[in-house]
Chains A and B, each alone.
Chain A
Amino acid sequence: MNKITNFIITDIIKNKIIIIYTVILALFSWSVLSLEDNTAKAMLSLLNIILLAVPLMAVIFSTIYMYNSSEFIELLVSQPIKRKTIWLSHFAGLSISLSIAFILGIGLPIVVYSPDAAGFSILLMGLFITPIFIAIAMLCSILARDKARGIGIAIMVWLFLSLIYDGIVLYLMFQFADYPIEKPMVIMSALNPIDLARIMVLLKVDVSALMGYTGAIFKQIFGSQIGWIISLGLLTFWIVIPMWFSLIKFKNKDL
């Protein structure tokens, strides 16, 4: 498994796109953090990157990469290697390389400029979001044999989780404003990894505002130690479940 992972990582680095990705992230975060004298504001710009650009990059890059390496996968399958090993080492290779890009691009400036609770929560959430969307991308690539269709599904999933889902939640909030909807809404938001990551960062950045009315619910559910564990558990589920489904699909697939 290590050998395949290593091979994939070197292959991705040779690809140069990942280097451009790192450089763009680094340019953005260094400039935001050094130009903005108010670190809280800079953090919010970085938050937007993590909620939009990082998942988009992860999902598109990984889907295309999986399609392009289909011949390589066929070659590996013909060897005496378990399919599980092949699939998981692809996942590991992609997540390690994209996570390294994220750490170099955004993590380093955060550690230099703002090594506080807000900064580290952004870093941690980025490190969850990246593998989550790689897992989703791998599921998409195995669901559709056609490349265009697979990429289309991946982008739709990204669009749904980052924009449409929130729209639906907002719509429901207004429709059912007269009912005690706090708990269902919190659960709904927690089911979307992007929303959950955003709320985890919000808890560190907008502490004062969250102490208010909704804060009680926020604090109860997300702010406590158990809340953190549950949230991290949910994010882990978002990696494990698409991965598990795609693995089953891959094992049974006639290549």
Chain B
Amino acid sequence: MKFFTSFIVFLLFSHIASGAHIHVGPRFQVTSIRAALLLAKDNDTITVHHSLYTEGTIVVNKSITLIGDEWPVLDGQLKYEVVSIKADHVNISGFVIRNSGIAALNDPGGVKVYDRSNIVIENNVFENNFFAIYIQYGKNCLIKNNKIIGFGKEEQEIGNGIHCWKSDSLRIIANKISGHRDGIYFEFVTNSIVWRNISKRNIRYGLHFMFSNNDAYVNNIFEENGAGVAVMYTKHVTMYSNTFSQSNGDAAYGILLKEISDAEIIGNKFLSNTAALFLEGANRILIKKNVFSGNGWGLKIQANCMDNTITENNFSGNTFDISTNGSLVLNTFDYNYWDKYAGYDIDKNRQGDVPYHPLSIYSTIIENNPIAMLLYRSFIVSLMERTEKLIPSITPDNFRDNSPQMKPYEL
């Protein structure tokens, strides 16, 4: 009797807690994932052992956990979407997912989530997919520790690394993405966090988001992407402690901000970009405690930006610290450190006693006449710059830092 009750209890709990456990592999009874999915019920676990699985599209329509043992390979043979998730509470980890089909009409992905919630995609390797991870109407999903490699050459031939569309409450953590069109793409995604990802050498943007309000980007690294990071038509974005480096090329930016408002950009590092931060139609943005170092242009701030606060940043080793395209100045630039500042500090309050004009005349000239870069740093141009610093005539006089720092901040 005692044995019987304990057996009942065991059955009960095992069912609730983990469900059945199905093994898939060449040495097991079930040899295909499709067959295992037919056998499985909600909350079951399927362990897939190492082998090559070419089963077309694997449709996961039950709430199960799929675990790869010793990196089983799911191959889409460049024809099919590899995994389609059409159930809530699905968990996928430990797979190598590669060679998804390429199609512009239905956007096949390595893993694609259709209108579902609580999906976990963790510790997978994605190789040579059109879209690696595609979340469509997803909610509360976790994408963590995936390694995503694409081999795209042209923008139109490849999709994005992590593509999220009309989703909410996503957590995208510690993924490594390279070689896709956009590393991470957000469109109409809200209340989400992108944390500790590394997005390198993507063809277009390392991170691209549009119409995605209330998101946070923290501790990510964006490097050598074709055009850096683009942020467009969005409100209430926070970007903390990211590193943007080596976005080089015409129209390549560390961050491109277009029609953004109420954002916070704090503690980021911009290193060796052609233009570190480009603002167009950006309002009420706080840019604070960032490092701008070794860039062609530190800030390119268009005259249609207003009420932005640029404060406590370090500008050093940039060819031009700031450039703009008009004479209207509706932003403040106080309390920054500029390595080109040549003023003095008699009252020893660590702030320069004369205001600094960060806008160099030649950056204004180059804005209108880019080929003039040929003469940069020549004697005649230095003369022009000196004269303009003494008697501002072309550059707006109120474009200035009233309290430039004498020493750089420790950032």
Binding site for B on A (CB under 8 A): 38, 40-41, 44, 47-48, 51-52, 162-163, 166-167, 169-170, 173-174, 177, 181-182, 185-186, 189, 194-195, 198-199, 202, 206-218
* A167, A182, A208 — most chain B CB neighbours (10 Å): A208
Instruction: Specify which chain B residues have a CB less than 8 angstroms from the CB of A195 in the assembled complex.
Output: 374-375, 378
Contact B380 A213 (CB under 8 A): no
Contact A215 B380 (CB under 8 A): no
How far is it, in angstroms, between the C-alpha of A136 and the C-alpha of B319 when the chains are bound?
A: 33
Kindly identify, within residues 235 to 284 of chain B, every residue whose CB is under 8 Å from any CB belonging to chain A: 248-250, 252, 272-275
Taken residue by residue from 360 to 395, chain B's Cβ proximity to chain A (1 for < 8 Å, 0 otherwise) reads as 000000001111111111111110000000000000
The answer to whether residues A208 and B248 also contact, given A38-B316, A185-B371 and a CB cut-off of 8 A, is yes
How far is it, in angstroms, between the C-alpha of A213 and the C-alpha of B300 when the chains are bound?
A: 14
How far is it, in angstroms, between the C-alpha of A186 and the C-alpha of B371 when the chains are bound?
A: 9
Q: Does B339 contact A (CB under 8 A)?
A: yes
Given A162-B379, A206-B319, 20 new contacts (CB under 8 A): A41-B317, A163-B380, A166-B380, A167-B380, A169-B375, A173-B369, A173-B372, A173-B375, A174-B369, A185-B374, A186-B374, A189-B374, A206-B376, A208-B296, A209-B274, A209-B320, A211-B248, A212-B249, A216-B250, A217-B371
5 contacts across the A-B interface (CB closer than 8 A): A177-B368, A208-B272, A213-B370, A214-B371, A218-B374
Instruction: Specify which chain A residues have a CB less than 8 angstroms from the CB of B273 in the assembled complex.
Output: 208
Contact B274 A212 (CB under 8 A): yes
Contact A212 B317 (CB under 8 A): no
Contact B379 A212 (CB under 8 A): no
Q: Does B297 contact A (CB under 8 A)?
A: yes
Option from B296, B368, B381, B382 in Cβ contact (under 8 Å) with A212 = B296
Instruction: Specify which chain B residues have a CB less than 8 angstroms from the CB of A207 in the assembled complex.
Output: 248, 272
Instruction: Specify which chain B residues have a CB less than 8 angstroms from the CB of A170 in the assembled complex.
Output: 372, 375, 380-381
Q: Does B295 contact A (CB under 8 A)?
A: yes
Contact B370 A166 (CB under 8 A): no
Q: Which 7 A-B pairs have the closest CB atoms?
A: A209-B296, A211-B248, A209-B319, A208-B296, A213-B370, A214-B373, A166-B380
The answer to whether residues A215 and B250 also contact, given A170-B372, A170-B380, A173-B369 and a CB cut-off of 8 A, is yes
Q: Does B183 contact A (CB under 8 A)?
A: no
Option from A40, A51, A214, A218 in Cβ contact (under 8 Å) with B379 = A51
Kindly identify, within residues 278 to 331 of chain B, every residue whose CB is under 8 Å from any CB belonging to chain A: 294-297, 316-317, 319-320
Instruction: Specify which chain A residues have a CB less than 8 angstroms from the CB of B374 in the assembled complex.
Output: 169, 173, 185-186, 189, 195, 199, 214, 218
* Residue of chain B at shortest CB distance from A184: B371
Option from B296, B369, B370 in Cβ contact (under 8 Å) with A206 = B296
What's the least CB distance linking A169 to chain B, in Å? Answer: 6
How far is it, in angstroms, between the C-alpha of A182 and the C-alpha of B214 when the chains are bound?
A: 44
Contact B380 A210 (CB under 8 A): no
Contact A40 B378 (CB under 8 A): no
* Residue of chain B at shortest CB distance from A169: B375
What's the least CB distance linking A122 to chain B, in Å? Answer: 12
Instruction: Specify which chain A residues have a CB less than 8 angstroms from the CB of B381 in the assembled complex.
Output: 166, 170
Instruction: Specify which chain A residues have a CB less than 8 angstroms from the CB of B379 in the assembled complex.
Output: 48, 51-52, 162-163, 166
How far is it, in angstroms, between the C-alpha of A41 and the C-alpha of B340 when the chains are bound?
A: 9
* B316, B320, B374, B376 — most chain A CB neighbours (10 Å): B374
What's the least CB distance linking B195 to chain A, in Å? Answer: 28
Instruction: Specify which chain B residues have a CB less than 8 angstroms from the CB of A199 in the assembled complex.
Output: 374
Option from A38, A48, A216 in Cβ contact (under 8 Å) with B339 = A38
What's the least CB distance linking A137 to chain B, in Å? Answer: 20
Taken residue by residue from 328 to 363, chain B's Cβ proximity to chain A (1 for < 8 Å, 0 otherwise) reads as 000000000001000000000000000000000000
The answer to whether residues A51 and B378 also contact, given A173-B371, A173-B372 and a CB cut-off of 8 A, is yes
Contact B373 A210 (CB under 8 A): yes
Contact B377 A47 (CB under 8 A): yes
Contact A211 B371 (CB under 8 A): no
* Residue of chain B at shortest CB distance from A39: B317
Instruction: Specify which chain A residues have a CB less than 8 angstroms from the CB of B369 in the assembled complex.
Output: 173-174, 177
Contact B382 A48 (CB under 8 A): yes
Instruction: Specify which chain B residues have a CB less than 8 angstroms from the CB of A185 in the assembled complex.
Output: 371, 374
Contact A181 B296 (CB under 8 A): no
Option from A182, A189, A211, A217 in Cβ contact (under 8 Å) with B249 = A211
* Residue of chain A at shortest CB distance from B294: A208
Option from B317, B368, B372, B375 in Cβ contact (under 8 Å) with A40 = B317
What's the least CB distance linking B352 to chain A, in Å? Answer: 17
